[in-house]
Amino acid sequence: MKVRNLFLAVLVLLSINCLADKKRPNIIIVMTDDSGYSDLGCYGGEIETPNLDKLAKQGMRFVNFYTNGRCSPSRASLLTGHASGDVGFGAGTLGGWQREIKMPAYRARLPYHIPTIAELMKEVGYRTMMVGKWHLGGSLMESEIGLQMRWKKQHPGWELTREEIEADYNALPVQRGFEKYFGILEGENNCFITPDDNSTYLEGNKKARLSFDKNYAMTCMANSNSPSHYKNCENKKAKAFYATDGETDRAIEMIREDNSGNPFFLYLAYRVPHLPLQAPHELVEKYMTYYENMSEVEKNRVDGLVREGLFPDSASYKANFSNVKASKQLQKRYALHAAMTEMVDINMGRLIQTLEDEGELDNTIIFYFSDNGAASHAGDMMNTPYKGCKALLWEGGVKTHCIAYWHGVTEPGSVNNTIAWVGDLLPTCLDIVGNPYPKEFRGEKLSPLDGRSILSVLNGEEMAPPEYLLSNDKGQQGVIYKGKWKLLIEPGWYLQTSAEDGVNYELYDLEKDPAETVDLSQKHPGLVDQLSKVAEKWQSDCGIIDYGEILKIRPGHTK
Ligand SMILES: [Ca+2]
């Protein structure tokens, strides 16, 4: 029996070795945080993004790429291929302890028995690396008593058991398949960090040592209710670590520091242009003049999208700006968003150059998109021509630009209309490397994936829409897509569109009206009824409960 086991082990090693053939492509998933649909030059935007424009010219662009509308739920579906409610991030749950509830859909960490994309890529011999914002739960409270105290404070009525501490530890990126990790666990923090500041960056599961070797003149701005330290860097000149530069430095190092010959899987989750707004001064200054005439910028974005074949010329949209001159405050906010975006582009240029220098660019697949639309402080412009913003489920909140690059596969400069979803990336990557999704994991049976492989889209085909695409945010809106139809479901009590109890519906024909200007719910009551029933069933299958109930269980949940 022992000899047979040894023989099997040798066979497995041999097959992994064969799979490690250099021809298997590296895969890089780059996800920004709160970017607007039309931010990039190649998506009609005025922000200067020459490196991403070049990538789009050599690769393909998606017209209809969807997220879950908010940071953690999108990340949860990206890494597991499942609906966010099935993996602990239902209804706008965020990574961290603030909104956690003792119900599977609200556990604010990925279930240990559902594999992540990193664990599955590692299984077939890929080097797995992650840089940037995690925001999927887990902490170092196992070794830090202070964190255990904080947990207890944030979980009144719960007992902090050994199992709880272990499950919390097992939610960290290194425990979820990433052999190398450099980044922050939380949702936001300063972009500029000087040697005097507290840094929360981790290298693996230890506090990271940052390098402060670059000089920056800083411009910083935050909402009035943001922590004051976010604004402290305003007008400062100092040697500092800037998130986008420093994260790219580490990603480049990770690519270079291994010469095993195995392909790599890199998940690079930039934490910009999420608040707080912080960027190098000279870039912010450059963009201040861009946002003087708001209506002109808005119109240029739409014209740009039409020119690029990304928005139909015949479609209407609701303009947000008239010919009023923007206030200095608003100009600065947009200029910061733009500067943070250009910093991403500059760093994407460095990353792509590294791949070229290493002779790996032609053998590397790159996906580039955002985790949701621009947030409320910038969404009215940055999500043009779509309405709404991050955390709301109109197209502006859930739809993002998406570039896919694969030398010799994606047709240069092509545009694809297929409805794709952030949860499609896991099955697509598995399809590319030929690793089928397992039937069970860590001894537990797995349900089938919600995402689907879009490999044929990369090959230039248009796929029929998925049967349904569903999403649900904190409770104010739920959404269901079927073919060209989109039904938005809003409990009236949340006052999004109704001051009355009951439920509001909005129905759109996205083929004719992608920017949701004409509500057809009164015209097609049968369809509304049919789709809302599917959505209700999905919601209850996911274990998502009414938001009013959540507020009873955990008052102050919104904070
Ligand atoms: Ca986000």
The predicted structure's pLDDT at residue 492: 61
The predicted structure's pLDDT at residue 2: 45
User: Three-class SS of residue 174?
Assistant: helix
Residue with tokens 């409610």: 85
Residue 448 confidence (pLDDT) above 70:
yes
The predicted structure's pLDDT at residue 4: 47
Distances (CA, A) of 558 to 76, 259, 273, 490: 20, 47, 22, 17
Other C-beta atoms within 10 Å of 431: how many?
A: 18
Residue 375 confidence (pLDDT) above 90:
yes
Per-residue pLDDT tens for 455-467? 999 999 999 999 9
Burial of 175 by CB count in 10 Å (0-12 exposed, 13-18 middle, 19+ buried)?
Answer: middle
Residue 530 confidence (pLDDT) above 50:
yes
What is the average pLDDT across 265-290? Answer: 96
What is the average pLDDT across 199-207? Answer: 97
What is the average pLDDT across 186-207? Answer: 94
Start-end of H helices in 89-144: 117-123
357 C-alpha vs ligand 1 centroid, how far in Å?
A: 32
Could you tell me which residues are beta bridge partners of residue 400?
65
Name residue 515's amino acid: A
The predicted structure's pLDDT at residue 229: 66
Say how far apart CA 108 and CA 97 lie, in whole Å: 7
End-to-end CA distance of the chain: 59
More confident residue, 472 or 79: 79
Residue 430 confidence (pLDDT) above 80:
yes
304 C-alpha vs ligand 1 centroid, how far in Å?
A: 24
The predicted structure's pLDDT at residue 8: 43
> 112 falls in which pLDDT band (50, 70, 90)?
very high
CA angle 186, 28, 441 (to 5 degrees): 70
The predicted structure's pLDDT at residue 230: 74
Q: Across the chain, what does the average pLDDT equal? A: 91
471 C-alpha vs ligand 1 centroid, how far in Å?
A: 15
Residue 116 C-beta-side C-alpha neighbours within 13 Å: 28
What is the average pLDDT across 493-510? Answer: 73
Residue 165 confidence (pLDDT) above 90:
yes
CB-based contact 507:516 (threshold 8 Å): no
Residue 401 confidence (pLDDT) above 50:
yes
Name residue 230's amino acid: Y
Residue 374 confidence (pLDDT) above 70:
yes
What six digits make up the tokens of 432? 């590319």
71 C-alpha vs ligand 1 centroid, how far in Å?
A: 4
Ligand 1 ion local residues (Cβ < 5 A)? 33-34, 71, 371-372
Omega of the bond leading into 555 within 30 degrees of 0 (cis):
no
The predicted structure's pLDDT at residue 502: 74
CB-based contact 455:425 (threshold 8 Å): no
> 109 falls in which pLDDT band (50, 70, 90)?
very high
Q: Which CATH class, in words, describes the domain spanning 26-136+171-558?
A: alpha beta
272 C-alpha vs ligand 1 centroid, how far in Å?
A: 9
- Biggest alpha carbon–alpha carbon distance for the chain: 81
Q: Is beta strand 202-203 parallel, antiparallel or unpaired with respect to 414-421?
A: unpaired
Per-domain residue ranges of the chain: 26-136+171-558
The predicted structure's pLDDT at residue 516: 98
480 C-alpha vs ligand 1 centroid, how far in Å?
A: 21
What is the average pLDDT across 167-178? Answer: 97
496 C-alpha vs ligand 1 centroid, how far in Å?
A: 21
Residue 448 C-beta-side C-alpha neighbours within 13 Å: 3
The predicted structure's pLDDT at residue 221: 87
Residue 205 confidence (pLDDT) above 70:
yes
188 C-alpha vs ligand 1 centroid, how far in Å?
A: 10
499 C-alpha vs ligand 1 centroid, how far in Å?
A: 28
Say how far apart CA 145 and CA 406 lie, in whole Å: 47
What is the average pLDDT across 80-85? Answer: 96
Say how far apart CA 480 and CA 503 lie, in whole Å: 15
The predicted structure's pLDDT at residue 499: 53
Say how far apart CA 370 and CA 30 lie, in whole Å: 8
> 558 falls in which pLDDT band (50, 70, 90)?
low
Selection from 18-27, 189-198, 355-364, 470-479 with the highest mean pLDDT: 355-364
What six digits make up the tokens of 316? 């209407």
Distances (CA, A) of 30 to 265, 270, 465, 519, 539: 11, 7, 24, 35, 29
299 C-alpha vs ligand 1 centroid, how far in Å?
A: 25
Per-residue pLDDT tens for 467-476? 999 988 876 7
Omega of the bond leading into 276 within 30 degrees of 0 (cis):
yes
Instruction: Indicate the length of the chain as a whole number.
Output: 559
The predicted structure's pLDDT at residue 227: 66
What six digits make up the tokens of 7? 């023989």
5 C-alpha vs ligand 1 centroid, how far in Å?
A: 47
Could you tell me which residues are beta bridge partners of residue 62?
402, 416
393 C-alpha vs ligand 1 centroid, how far in Å?
A: 13
191 C-alpha vs ligand 1 centroid, how far in Å?
A: 15
Extended beta strands in 412-464, E state: 414-421, 440-441, 444-445
Per-residue pLDDT tens for 7-54? 444 444 444 444 444 579 999 999 999 999 999 999 999 999 999 999
What is the average pLDDT across 337-361? Answer: 98
The predicted structure's pLDDT at residue 20: 47
DSSP letter at 348 equals H
Say how far apart CA 541 and CA 545 lie, in whole Å: 10
Among candidate residues 389, 391, 355, 150, the one with its CA nearest the CA of residue 268: 355
Q: At what angle do helices 328-357 and 281-288 cross, to 10 degrees?
A: 120
34 C-alpha vs ligand 1 centroid, how far in Å?
A: 4
38 C-alpha vs ligand 1 centroid, how far in Å?
A: 16
Among candidate residues 456, 357, 450, 466, the one with its CA nearest the CA of residue 406: 456
Q: Name the CA radius of gyration of the chain, rounded.
A: 23
7 C-alpha vs ligand 1 centroid, how far in Å?
A: 48
Name residue 381's amino acid: M
Say how far apart CA 99 and CA 554 lie, in whole Å: 8
24 C-alpha vs ligand 1 centroid, how far in Å?
A: 31
The predicted structure's pLDDT at residue 497: 53
User: Three-class SS of residue 314?
Assistant: coil
Residue 412 confidence (pLDDT) above 90:
yes
Selection from 227-241, 385-399, 488-502 with the highest mean pLDDT: 385-399
Say how far apart CA 222 and CA 231 lie, in whole Å: 6
Other C-beta atoms within 10 Å of 198: how many?
A: 8
What is the average pLDDT across 447-454? Answer: 97
